Amino acid sequence: MPRAASPKVAVSVIVEHDAWRAVIDDPVPLLRRAAAAAVAEARRARRLRGTRTPQVAVALIDDRAMQKLNKTYRGKDKPTNVLSFPSGEAGTESKRATRPLGDVAIALGTVKREAKAQGKSVGDHLTHLMVHAVLHLLGYDHESDPDAEEMEALERKALATLGIADPYGADPDRPAK
């Protein structure tokens, strides 16, 4: 039985590409649940401490806007599914009630194509990408095999709390991202 993702997370969502609403009527609750599940797993893993409410801003964009961001910030002239931009403030002390983690951009066209290719709903794929992005904002990455294994384990646990199947399948020989 899935565990409830209980931590409070402040998630601000800007739907910059209206076609998102044709796919997911109200993405805000989905994105909030995904962020809360990621934060809960990071707290269990002791990567996130403190009492301030984590804060994330999300932009739901199209592939053209994502391609511009990917080219500008990663030097890759193509769209990608999700980009995370850590605030740099996640570990700093402050008297504010919130702890800014950073910003996330998610591209609709790429998400739809990937969801179809993977045989899953756009909502489940969006949830996975949000969990993935929040973990990046918390300092997780998948640059090495051990880091990828740690991050993917947290993704699996967070998604299981939301009733979403393992996005990586059962292939232990799958190369790291």
Q: Is residue 1 part of a domain?
A: no
Q: Inform me whether the pLDDT recorded for 177 exceeds 60.
A: no
Rounded to whole angstroms, how far apart are CA atoms 157 and 150?
A: 11
Which residues lie closer than 8 Å to 99 by C-beta, 6 or more apart?
50, 52, 53, 54, 55, 89, 90
Rounded to whole angstroms, how far apart are CA atoms 87 and 71?
A: 20
| pLDDT value of position 46 | 74
| Nearest in space to 45 (alpha carbons), one of 164, 151, 167 | 151
Q: Is residue 172 part of a domain?
A: no
Query: Which of 67-76, 127-136, 161-170 has the lowest average pLDDT?
Result: 161-170
**151-to-154, 161, 163 alpha-carbon distances in Å:** 5, 16, 18
For 82, left (φ over 0), alpha (ψ -120 to 50), or beta? beta
Q: Is residue 167 part of a domain?
A: no
Average confidence (pLDDT) over 42-56: 79
Q: Is residue 51 part of a domain?
A: yes
Q: Is residue 173 part of a domain?
A: no
Contact status, residue 17 vs residue 108, Cβ threshold 8 Å: yes
Task: Specify which residues 13 forms β-bridges with.
Answer: 58
| Nearest in space to 165 (alpha carbons), one of 121, 113, 114 | 121
**174-to-14, 71, 113 alpha-carbon distances in Å:** 34, 27, 21
Q: Is residue 176 part of a domain?
A: no
Question: Model-level pTM?
Answer: 0.86
pLDDT in tens, 99-118: 899 999 999 999 999 999 99
Q: Is residue 98 part of a domain?
A: yes
Our count of domains for the chain comes to 1
Range(s) of the domain holding residue 92: 10-161
Q: Is residue 4 part of a domain?
A: no
Report the CATH number at residue 135.
Answer: 3.40.390.30
